Amino acid sequence: MKTKLLIFGITGDLSTRKLLPALEQIISTGNFNELSVIGVSRHEVNQSELFVNCSNESFLDGKLSTYIMNLDASGDYYGLKDFVALGDDEQLLIYMAVPPLATAQIVDYLGEAGLNAHNVKILFEKPFGVDLVSAKKLIEQTARHYREEQIYRIDHYLAKEMAQNIVAFRDKNALFSDVWNNNFIESIQVIASQKMGIEGRTHFYEQTGALRDVVQGHMMQLLALTLMDIPHDFEWDNMPELRQQAFNQLQPVDPNKAIRAQYEGYKDEVGNLDSKVETFVSLSIESGQPRWLGVPITLTAGKSLAETKTEIQINLKKNDGVSGNCLVFRIQPNEGIDIELFVKKPGYSRELETRHLSFNYPADTKLPDAYEQVIVDAISSQKSLFTSSGEVLRTWQILQPVQDSWNSSNNNPKTYPVGADISVVLG
Ligand code: BG6
């Protein structure tokens, strides 16, 4: 079907860093020749700046048009509708690549202008709202103009190759499927550590902070894929419902078990010397599901740290009181799976040592970027890797006590030097 992709925020960081390079890949497959892009911006667009992260500036030649408008002027949306000129045999994907607080008003204006016909889909970037109340409002407001099947809430972590692999691995390897419970698993850690800082996204980051930016969505979703029941017959369409059930069992986080920190120099970088926005967060969380009772779970995420790595560590119980195996899903970089094994050290002594059994993709494997998968799935109406409204509300609810506590506290986050190790920040 002929598809028009309308991007709000075409000149922004998300669009230039992720969406346009993903589109370049998708178009290069030759399977999406009927895809065209309309970029919406407040200002004149310098087209060559759009493609700084693409390998070829001309891949959208003849397929890209831009529309300059005032996002706050409801009247401009009627002009946008005329510009889009959507035919009955076409579909329109509206991609909201704008900061969370700008979203609600744009949705209203789009709806009022009639950019919500049955062949229109609306794609939201996370975070959906900034807390439980605003998420609820955004969901209700969107529902006034769009039916649930038209709404695609993106969490690109769900679309990462290794994230999709978690459920496949758990289901299809009997070695692990039978030990996936609190009889055998001691603790679970989800870690998303980044060397990079906020990369100039001052406006966005001051509205979000690490909790809203990556914990409420990306990390909670990785956790859901680890804890959830496996879909019967591996039916992917049931995934959102099963992730939601896993979230329903998670207890709201005790603020006393949450650590927030900010890297040194952040305040100057954003030009707000009073900023309490956290660039690092670590939370302990518990599931009430019988299968996971008593298993400590931690989620840790931060920017400007020593290392860039996202992984899930599953620590198995010690069977002799001394040794316990660790299974690691390496979400990125170096996507793969590691199992830490205890083996006898070669030689005359009876000593043990730890070795890794690793699954790595062959060097020439091209793993699709998550945003390629997101766009392809939205075009073809596959919703299993998108977040339902129920998941969004429940994840905010789980984090609300922490947000409330941080909002009402006069305490500043603790600080850490740029390039610090996670263990140093945790102190
Ligand atoms: C985005 C966050 O959603 O995810 C960024 O806004 C973060 O702050 C990014 O850096 C991480 O995504 P990826 O795919 O680069 O790990």
For 304-355, write each residue's pLDDT tens digit: 999 999 999 999 998 776 678 899 999 999 999 999 998 999 999 999 899 9
pLDDT digits (tens, 9 = 90+) for 36-70: 999 999 988 888 889 999 999 889 999 999 999 99
Model confidence at 409, pLDDT cuts 50, 70, 90, reads: confident
**Alpha carbon of 214 to ligand 1 centroid (Å):** 7
Encode pLDDT of 265-281 as tens digits. 999 999 999 999 999 99
How far apart are the C-alpha atoms of 336 and 358, rounded to whole Å? Answer: 7
Determine the average pLDDT of the residues in 241-258: 97
DSSP result, 132-197: HHHHHHHHHHHHHHS-GGGEEEE-GGGGSHHHHHHHHHHHH-HHHHTT-STTTEEEEEEEEE-SS-
Give the pLDDT band of residue 140 (cuts 50, 70, 90). very high
The pLDDT value recorded for residue 307 is 97
Catalogue all structural domains in the chain, each as residue range(s) with its CATH number.
Answer: 2-125 (3.40.50.720), 158-426 (3.30.360.10)
Measure 35 CA to ligand 1 centroid, in angstroms: 26
DSSP code at position 217: I
| pLDDT score recorded for residue 323 | 72
Q: For residue range 86-107, what is the model confidence (pLDDT) as tens digits?
A: 999 999 999 999 877 788 899 9
Q: What percent of the chain has pLDDT over 70?
A: 100
Q: Is the CB of 214 under 6 A from ligand 1?
A: yes
Model pLDDT, residue 92:
98
Task: Determine whether the shortest distance from the Cβ of 213 to ligand 1 is under 6 A.
Answer: yes
Residue 358's pLDDT is 95
Q: Averaged over 112-127, what is the pLDDT?
A: 95
51-64 per-residue burial string, b: 16 or more CB within 10 A, e: under 16: beebeeeebbeebb
**pLDDT reported for residue 290:** 97
Q: Can you give the pLDDT at residue 410?
A: 86
Whose CA is closest to 224, among 202, 203, 239, 206?
239
C-alpha 226 to ligand 1 mean position (Å): 20
- The reported pLDDT for the residue numbered 72 is 94
Pocket test for ligand 1, best of 160, 190, 194, 205 (most atoms within 8 A of CB): 194
Whole-number Å distance between alpha carbons of 420 and 367? 30
Ligand 1 within 6 A of CB of 311: no
**Closest C-alpha to 215, from 263, 259, 270:** 259
Ligand 1 close to Cβ of residue 40 (< 6 A): no
Residue 242: what pLDDT? 96
Check residue 222 and give its pLDDT: 98
- Quick check: 399 pLDDT over 80? yes
Determine the pLDDT at residue 251: 96
Distance (Å, whole) CA 182 – CA 315: 11
Cα 289 to Cα 250, 292, 307, 385, 394, distances in angstroms? 8, 5, 33, 23, 15
The candidate with the shortest Cα–Cα distance to 28, out of 361, 376, 370, is 376
> Which is the closest atom of ligand 1 to the Cα of 192?
16
Cβ(220)–Cβ(395) under 8 Å? yes
Can you tell me the distance from the alpha carbon of 120 to that of 3, in angstroms, rounded to the nearest whole number?
10
CB atoms within 10 A of CB 65: 14
Pocket test for ligand 1, best of 211, 213, 220, 277 (most atoms within 8 A of CB): 213
- Whether residue 47 contacts residue 64, with contact meaning beta carbons closer than 8 Å, is answered with yes
Which pLDDT value is given to residue 116? 97
Alpha carbons 163 and 336: distance in angstroms, whole number:
10
What is the C-alpha separation between 73 and 106, in angstroms, rounded?
Answer: 9
The burial class, CB within 10 Å (0-12 / 13-18 / 19+), for 185 is buried
Tell me the two tokens of residue 172. Answer: 């299809």
Mutate to test the pocket of ligand 1, among 214, 221, 308 (most ligand atoms within 8 A of CB): 214
Concatenated DSSP letters for 234-300? Answer: G-GGGHHHHHHHHHHHBPPPPGGGEEEEEETTHHHHHT-TT----SEEEEEE-B-SGGGTT--EEEE
Higher pLDDT, 207 or 191: 191
More confident residue, 56 or 262: 262
Statement: residue 190 has pLDDT above 80: yes
**Ligand 1, atom nearest to 160 Cα:** 14
More confident residue, 235 or 296: 296
Distance 133 CA to ligand 1 centre (A): 24
Q: What is the pLDDT of residue 106?
A: 95
Q: Does the pLDDT at position 18 exceed 80? A: yes
Stretch among 169-173, 220-224, 301-305 having the lowest mean pLDDT: 169-173
Q: Which pTM does this prediction carry?
A: 0.93
Q: What angle do CA 64, 70, 71 make, to 5 degrees?
A: 85
User: Tell me, what's the pLDDT at 364?
Assistant: 92
Q: From ligand 1's centre to the CA of 14, what distance in Å?
A: 9
Ligand 1: distance of its center to the CA of 319 in Å? 38
- CA nearest neighbour of 245 among 136, 394, 145: 394
Which 3 state secondary structure label does DSSP give 222?
A: helix
pLDDT at 70: 95
The mean-pLDDT minimum among 14-18, 70-74, 234-238 falls in 234-238
Q: Where does the pLDDT of residue 231 fall: very low under 50, low under 70, confident under 90, or very high at 90 and above?
A: confident
